[in-house]
Amino acid sequence: MSGLLALLDDVAAIAKLAAAQLDDIAAQASKAGAKAAGVVVDDAAVTPKYVTGLPAARELPIIWKIARASFFNKLVILLPAALLLNAFLPWLLTPLLMIGGAYLCFEGAEKVYHLFVPHTAHGPQEAETLDAAHLEEQRVKGAIKTDFILSAEIMTITLSAIDADQWWLQGIILAVVAIGITALVYGAVALLVKMDDAGLKLSQVGRLAATRAVGRAMVAYMPTLMTVIATVGTAAMLWVGGNILVHGLHDLGWHFPYETIKHAAEAVGGKGGFVNWLVTATIDGVIGLAFGLALIPVVGRALALFGNGKAAAH
């Protein structure tokens, strides 16, 4: 009897340990996912453009193709790579994170720049010169490439936010965040791209006048909603990118930007609280915008050189 009681005590202890580990995984996954929020918002804001101009019946299948590739990118390629990097070359994480932050700054700043400087949009011309199947194939390939870059940033940010030392626990947390974020992003994208169709259907077949009015409002305000999401995504990119650069410099030994922003936020909003966060995020965003704008001509020259090299090769 005593042996049975001891066995039950051991089982109870293991169950408590497992429950504690699950709580830790959930807490760390939530914390890490929150740090990657800026990239997640941008991912959700960017993806709908890849189904623009394609048949409505192909919207959900296209989103599923991109989502499936995103799961593969995160779980099969990036997760093992992140764990190996963390185990054997941990000093590379901060520089890689900063490179990803610089990319976010560049992408966000480029969107702001194009608001003021006219540029040629190739979407309609592309749709005219390609049939739907080829256009879909090109769009999916482009979306998967973009997703891979954003997924790499999400996984790196997540890994940097994990406090656990065990590699298997890190792997589980990364997997939970990868699955959760991918499902959230592409579930939200699927809802967004079908919202106008749902609104149109409601406006046509709704039995109540109020229902039909809601349907018409969904169709009418969808462009505004997409603009708001894109704006929030751009702001989030600049804020997160600037924050990553500032914290990266702090980790590498240059503390001035981080300490200056910290003192400014505390002077205005005290320690902690929304005002403190808002001041910090605003300054980080301004830094991200300035750095991204400085990168635009550099990237332009690099692409020009690459293009000239390709031309010369031909």
Which range of 47-61, 90-104, 285-299 scores highest in mean pLDDT? It is: 285-299
Closest CA relative to residue 143, chosen from 210, 55, 50, 209: 50
Provide mean pLDDT across the span 24-50: 61
Q: Among 10-19, 166-175, 231-240, whose mean pLDDT is lowest?
A: 10-19
Q: 232: burial class by Cβ within 10 Å (0-12, 13-18, 19+)? A: middle
Tens-digit pLDDT profile for residues 48-66: 767 766 777 888 888 999 9
Condensed to tens digits (0 to 9), the pLDDT of residues 211-264 reads 888 888 888 888 888 788 778 878 888 888 898 899 999 999 999 999 999 999
Q: Is the pLDDT of residue 281 over 60?
A: yes
Residue 120 has pLDDT above 90, yes or no: no
What does the pLDDT average to over 84-93?
Answer: 89
Query: What is the spatial distance between Cα 64 and Cα 58, in angstroms, rounded to a whole number?
Result: 10
60, 202 contact by CB (below 8 A): no
Residue 116 CB partners (closer than 8 Å, separation 6+): none
- Residue 271 predicted with pLDDT over 90: no
pLDDT at 276 over 70: yes
Tokens of 34: 């929150």
What tokens does 310 get? Answer: 């390709």
* pLDDT, averaged across the chain: 79
Residues 40 and 185 sit within 8 Å (Cβ to Cβ):
yes
Q: Mention every residue, 6+ apart, whose C-beta is less than 8 A from residue 87.
A: 167
pLDDT above 90 for 151? no
- For residue 101, the Cα-to-chain-centroid distance in whole angstroms is 12
- At residue 124, the pLDDT reads 45
Largest CA distance in the chain: 85
pLDDT at residue 17, rounded to an integer:
41
CA atoms within 13 A of residue 146's CA, in its CB half-sphere? 21
Most confident of 108-117, 192-201, 227-236: 108-117
| Gyration radius of the chain's alpha carbons | 23
Q: Which of 261, 8, 244 is nearest to 107 (CA)?
A: 244
Average pLDDT over residues 138-158: 83
Helices (H), the chain: 2-35, 37-46, 59-72, 79-88, 93-116, 123-129, 132-161, 167-205, 209-251, 256-269, 274-313
Sign of CA dihedral 175, 180, 186, 187: positive
User: According to the model, what pLDDT value does residue 38 have?
Assistant: 58
Other CB atoms within 10 Å distance of the CB of residue 165: 7
Residue with tokens 């409505």: 56
The SS3 assignment for 294 reads helix
Q: Which tops the pLDDT comparison, 229 or 37?
A: 229
Q: Average pLDDT of 148-167?
A: 81
Q: Among 41, 65, 47, which Cα is nearest to 189's? A: 47
What pLDDT sits at residue 97? 84
pLDDT at 125: 46
Share of the chain above pLDDT 90, in %: 22
pLDDT range class, residue 119, cuts 50, 70, 90:
low
CA 123, CA 247: separation in Å to the nearest integer? 37
pLDDT at 255: 93
Percent of the chain with pLDDT over 70: 77
Half-sphere exposure of 280 (CA within 13 A, CB side): 20
* pLDDT reported for residue 305: 78
As a whole number of angstroms, the distance between CA 311 and CA 196 comes to: 44
Does the CA dihedral 296-301-303-304 come out positive or negative? positive
pLDDT above 60 (res 6): no
pLDDT of residue 264: 92
Q: How many CB atoms lie within 10 A of CB 113?
A: 15
At residue 262, the pLDDT reads 92
Block residue for tokens 């605003």: 282
